[in-house]
Amino acid sequence: MKLRNKEIGNFREPLFVAEIGCNYDGDIALAKELIRKAKDIGCDYAKFQSFDKDSLFIEAFYKQNPGDLPGETLEETLDRLTLKNDDLKELSSFCRDTAIGFASTPVSTTFVDSLMALDVDFLKIASFDLNNLPLLKYAAEQGRPIVLSVGLGTLQEIEEAVETIFSTGNRHLILMHCAAAYPPKDANINLNNIDLLRDYFHLPIGFSDHTLGFSVCLAAIAKGACVIEKHFTYDNTLETGDHFISANQEEMKIIVEQGKRIIAALGQYQRIISNDDIEFRKILRRSVVSVGEIKSGATITEEMIDCKRPGTGIQLHEIPYLLGRRVNREIGANELISWTDLD
């Protein structure tokens, strides 16, 4: 499976997804600015969320819970943050012109249709819809790769979701380990679940991050996560929405740049000595040297030799083959001994 010309796989360079989500604060111009910043940092995708107030909560919930801003109802908050089809089309086009991928999380089949009309590369399903099997089935039937967050779910629920997606014939699936709480306690992140999910499902496993800072994202990359999804904002000192758990531009840059470095440093499982290390052997390893002057015709004994740098002479493991040999020239004190010095 390839996305944005990247081969998706565990322990490969991950796909970096800047989750702008609702952090554009209802301002399309700000959304575009965040897209530009994500591109400049090196992210592969700028991602949003596709919902409206009718697709999320019952009426009683709206009446019982306040909105995001002072004096704002929850319904007004969602109205302000809803991306209409024309908005999605505009942002998708802007992403294309900016040379970054566009993605969004649909919360209903209606929004799946909206995103498919924009020819998105994949459909991302949120953790809260892990058990929404009708939505999973409909999304999978579109034939695009499914990126599925599995926060909040038991292993049995994840297995049922995977089976639902596979039943459509769509096997292009990435599971995203996720601790859904905002932000999770360190002890609840359980990055070792990346190994569990990889071993159990034999699928590419990514990480959708809700932690503060960038450290856990980098640790997930070291665990082999194939996708890193991190909330992205212009200001993570704001307390509204998802800003406070989001990476700012500097933090996201660290995730991308240092994440690539981590993958390069992981290297291979096989024991391989690099050409650089082979050259450093000559400097850092020791060779057999003379303790004092050795006369021509003398027989080499242990007392005559020592081991010092550089490592360009007789190697230490070869000492047994050196002892008892006759010297064919006068060797000075503290001098490398070579095989040509011996009969």
Beta bridge partners of 104: 48
Contact 49, 105 (CB under 8 A): yes
Domain-ending residue, one of 235, 266, 297: 266
3-state secondary structure the chain: CEECCEECCCCCCCEEEEECCCCCCCCHHHHHHHHHHHHHHCCCEEEEEECCHHHCCCHHHHHHCECCCCCCEHHHHHHHHCCCHHHHHHHHHHHHHHCCEEEEEECCHHHHHHHHCCCCCCEEECHHHCCCHHHHHHHHHCCCCEEEECCCCCHHHHHHHHHHHHCCCCCCEEEEEECCCCCCCHHHCCCCHHHHHHHHHCCCEEEEECCCCCHHHHHHHHCCCCEEEEEECCCCCCCCCCHHHCECHHHHHHHHHHHHHHHHHHCCCCCCCCHHHHHHHHHHCCEEEECCCECCCCECCHHHEEEECCCCCCCHHHHHHHCCCEECCCECCCCECCHHHEC
Q: Which residues, other chains included, contact 242 with Cβ-Cβ below 8 Å and sequence gap of 6+?
A: 19, 21, 22, 23, 182, 231, 233
Each of the 343 residues of the chain gets a pLDDT tens digit; together they read 999 999 999 999 999 999 999 999 999 999 999 999 999 999 999 999 999 878 888 888 887 888 778 888 888 888 898 999 999 999 999 999 999 999 999 999 999 999 999 999 999 999 999 999 999 999 999 999 999 999 999 999 999 999 999 999 999 999 999 998 889 999 999 999 999 999 999 999 999 999 999 999 999 999 999 999 999 999 999 988 899 999 999 999 999 999 999 999 999 889 989 999 999 999 999 999 999 999 999 999 999 999 999 999 999 999 999 999 999 999 999 999 999 999 9
Q: State the burial class of residue 116 (Cβ atoms within 10 Å of its Cβ: 0-12, 13-18, 19+).
A: middle
Would you mind telling me the total number of residues written for the chain in this entry?
343
Same domain (yes/no): 124, 143: yes
Domain CATH number, residue 283: 3.90.1210.10
Same domain (yes/no): 289, 230: no
Residue indicated by tokens 């500097």: 250
Same domain (yes/no): 298, 223: no
Q: How far apart are CA 278 and CA 276, in angstroms?
A: 5
- Dihedrals φ, ψ of 221, to 5°? -65, -40
Task: Name residue 302's amino acid.
Answer: E
Residue indicated by tokens 């850092």: 284
Domain-ending residue, one of 214, 235, 266: 266
Domain-ending residue, one of 266, 295, 326: 266
Both tokens of residue 194?
A: 């990346």
> 323 lies in which domain range?
275-341
CA distances from residue 213 to 49, 142, 176, 220, 325 in whole angstroms, order as listed: 22, 35, 19, 13, 64
Same domain (yes/no): 163, 63: yes
Same domain (yes/no): 252, 317: no
What is the number of structural domains in the chain? 2
Same domain (yes/no): 331, 183: no
Same domain (yes/no): 207, 304: no
Same domain (yes/no): 303, 240: no
Same domain (yes/no): 184, 310: no
Task: Name residue 23's amino acid.
Answer: N
